[in-house]
Chain A
Amino acid sequence: MNVAIVGIGIHPFGRHPGVSGLAQGAYAARQALADAGIGWADVECAFGGSMAAGNADTLVSDLGLTGLPFVNVRNGCATGGSALAMADRAIRSGDHDLVMAMGFDKHPPGAFNADPEESGLGRWYGETGLMLTTQFFGMKIQRYMHEYGISAATLAKVAAKAFRNGARNPHAWRRRPLTEEEIANSAMVSHPLTKYMFCSPGEGGIALVLCRADQARRYTSRPVYLSAVSLRTRRFGSFEVFSPWLAPSPPGGRGGPSTDAARAAFETAGLGPKDVDVLQLQDTESGAEIMHMAETGFCKDGEQEALIRDGATEIGGPMPVNTDGGCLANGEPIGASGLRQVYESVLQLRGAAGDRQVPGQPKVAFTHVYGAPGISSCAVLTR
């Protein structure tokens, strides 16, 4: 049983004073239902979540008390990816024909303040100032630049592209293009990464309606197929956020959940990176986009310097990355972030992405999220 995405909805990303995260989730859900031409009563089963904005299943009191099974998902940055994976399985197993996956969030301004004890770490780790995702990304790209010759100028180029793409996206938060100089010269947050190279925690909501592929045309003339969705946690030796220690040099390289999740998704889909026309990669900061290009198999380590210089990752390039502006331009409402990538992929495959449409009628899209404490979810979508 194959799976199709037949409805997509979004609550714009950014800051929305007075609008709860749950309300943004409900808004996205209604948009997705309208896009599929169905009502809430038609949805047989739902999966959704947020990190910081409440329980998704309570949305039934707003959307309708239909009695459907609704499972809350709380899986860090992979919350949306996990909801999507569960929705996919619910259809593939034959249990349900029409399912919703959704995610939303609403975070206060400023960096996340993670609780060490919730991650199985001693309180000292937070008290001494080590429990910051920003530090991890700074240290990971610092090492990567040292090993593979990526320049600081390339970090600025990635962020400049994100804001350029965000300017073309009506749902994005940061819609003002910034020059590479403005980005490079903004405040240093976590060396070598500056303020405008980092995304900010934000707000937003996404909902998707999924169905059996053989029933997709009941709901849309432009179905997009979910060829694969994978979810992986870290293995020994990988370099992850919130790690008081690492193995010195594990045999076979560090690998990581992104590499494992991407490989699994491609294997299931029977496709490879060369088949992909448009991709969305976790860009918590600009270094992450660079490293994730290699980790997910789209290039070799170190090739990013030339690829980015030559415009390969631009909307008109051979491997467009983060066409909607990514996390950098949209911010990161954790529960919604991964599903935003899928929303953008569906728009691109429908040919409905407006000013930021990838030319040449893209046929295959890829999405990748990564987050604490070392999890990744990837998806391959086709039309």
Chain B
Amino acid sequence: MTTLPEDKAAPVAAGLFSWPGGPRLIGSTCAACGTTTFPVQRSCPRCTGTELRAGPLAETGRLWTWTIQGFEPKPPYAADGPFAPYGVGYVELATEDGRGAVLVESRLTTADPGLLRIGAPMRLTFIPLRRDVSGSRVMTFAFEPAEQIGEAS
């Protein structure tokens, strides 16, 4: 299981992932049509239903597509420098109860095209973006290449 740094760390936004301990991304699944969203939404963009249940997404999934961000974005991008290219991709994740699935857009821990392959197994982790005014490290979610994962999601 991924562990988060316990001291002086804070999530980039509330509600994206469980924090602290046993970190998972939090999605929501529509009671009427089964569509899963990330982050949590109050209404379903597929069927317009309003009964959505929040729940954790799986820790591992498969890479659906990817790119490498080659230049430093303008604000509101907010990360401590110096800039280094970073990977971005969509990872296909099941809900932890196995009933739903969603492609989640995420930072990737590698920027090496040789290490990224569509269909490859990926695992959730967390990366620091910057220090906030209190000195805490501001953390966001990311996926790293995984050796092996269980069943394909």
Residues of B within 8 A of A116 (CB): 76
Question: What is the chain A residue whose CB lies nearest that of B86?
Answer: A129
Residues of chain A within 8 A of B9, CB atoms compared: none
Chain B residues with CB under 8 A of A146? 65, 118
Top 7 A-B residue pairs of the complex, sorted by shortest distance between their CB atoms: A138-B67, A113-B74, A126-B76, A124-B13, A143-B65, A246-B103, A245-B38
Q: Quick check: B69 and A132 within 8 Å, CB to CB?
A: yes
Specify which of A110, A111, A127, A188 lies most central, judged by the most chain B CB atoms within 10 Å of its CB.
Answer: A127
CB distance from A201 to the nearest CB of B (A): 11
State in angstroms the CA–CA spacing of A123 and B92 once bound together. 23
- Beta-carbon contact of A142 and B118 below 8 Å: yes
User: CA separation between A192 and B9, bound complex, in Å?
Assistant: 34
Residue B107 lies at the interface, judged by CB distance under 8 Å to chain A: yes
| Chain B residues close to A by CB (< 8 Å) | 12-13, 16, 27, 35, 37-39, 45-46, 64-71, 73-79, 86, 88-90, 92, 101-107, 113, 118, 129, 140
Given A113-B75, A146-B65, A190-B70, check contact A124 B118 (CB 8 Å): no
A135 at the interface (CB under 8 A from B): yes
B105 touches A191 (CB 8 A): no
Contact status B86-A236, CB under 8 Å: no
Tell me whether A188 and B68 are in contact (CB under 8 A): yes
The docked-state distance in angstroms from the alpha carbon of A113 to that of B77 is 9
A-B contact count (CB 8 A): 120
Say yes or no: B105 contacts A130, CB within 8 Å. Answer: yes
Assembled-state Cα–Cα distance A188/B68 (Å): 9
User: Which residues of chain B are near A191, meaning CB under 8 Å?
Assistant: 66-68, 70, 113
Chain A interface category by residue count: 35 or more
**Separation of A229 and B84 alpha carbons in the complex (Å):** 44
A129 touching B69, Cβ below 8 Å: yes
* A179 located at the interface, meaning its Cβ lies under 8 Å from any Cβ of chain B in the complex: no
Contact mask A111-133 → B, CB, 8 Å, 1/0? 10101100000111011111110
Contacts of A189 in B (CB 8 A): 70-71
**Residue in B35, B70, B104 whose Cβ sees the most chain A Cβ within 10 Å:** B70
From B16, B74, B78, B102, A248 is in contact (CB under 8 Å) with B102
Chain A residue nearest in CB terms to B102: A245
Say how far A213's CB is from chain B's closest CB, in angstroms: 40
Which chain A residue lies CB-closest to B78?
A127
Minimum C-beta distance from B43 to chain A (A)? 12
Q: A124-B16, A139-B89, A236-B45 given as contacts; is B67 within 8 A of A245 (CB)?
A: no
| Shortest distance between the CB of A131 and any CB in chain B (Å) | 7
B79 contacts which chain A residues (CB < 8 A)? 127-129
Given contacts A124-B16, A127-B77, A127-B78, contact A142 B68 (CB under 8 A): no
Given contacts A246-B102, A246-B103, A127 and B68 within 8 Å (CB-CB):
no
Nearest chain A CB to B128 CB, angstrom units: 11
Question: Separation in Å of the B11 CB from the closest CB of chain A?
Answer: 9
Q: Determine the chain B residues whose CB is within 8 A of the CB of A130 once the complex forms.
A: 88, 105-107
- A129/B74 in contact, CB under 8 A: no
A67 at the interface (CB under 8 A from B): no
Closest Cβ–Cβ distance, residue A301 to chain B (whole Å): 15
Residues of A within 8 A of B78 (CB): 127
Identify 5 residue pairs between A and B in the complex whose beta-carbon atoms are under 8 Å apart, listed by A's number. A124-B140, A138-B67, A142-B66, A189-B71, A247-B46
- How distant is B132 from chain A, measured CB to nearest CB, in Å? 11
CA distance A131 to B74 in the complex (A): 10
Q: Mark A135-147, 1 if CB is under 8 A from B, else 0.
A: 1001110110010
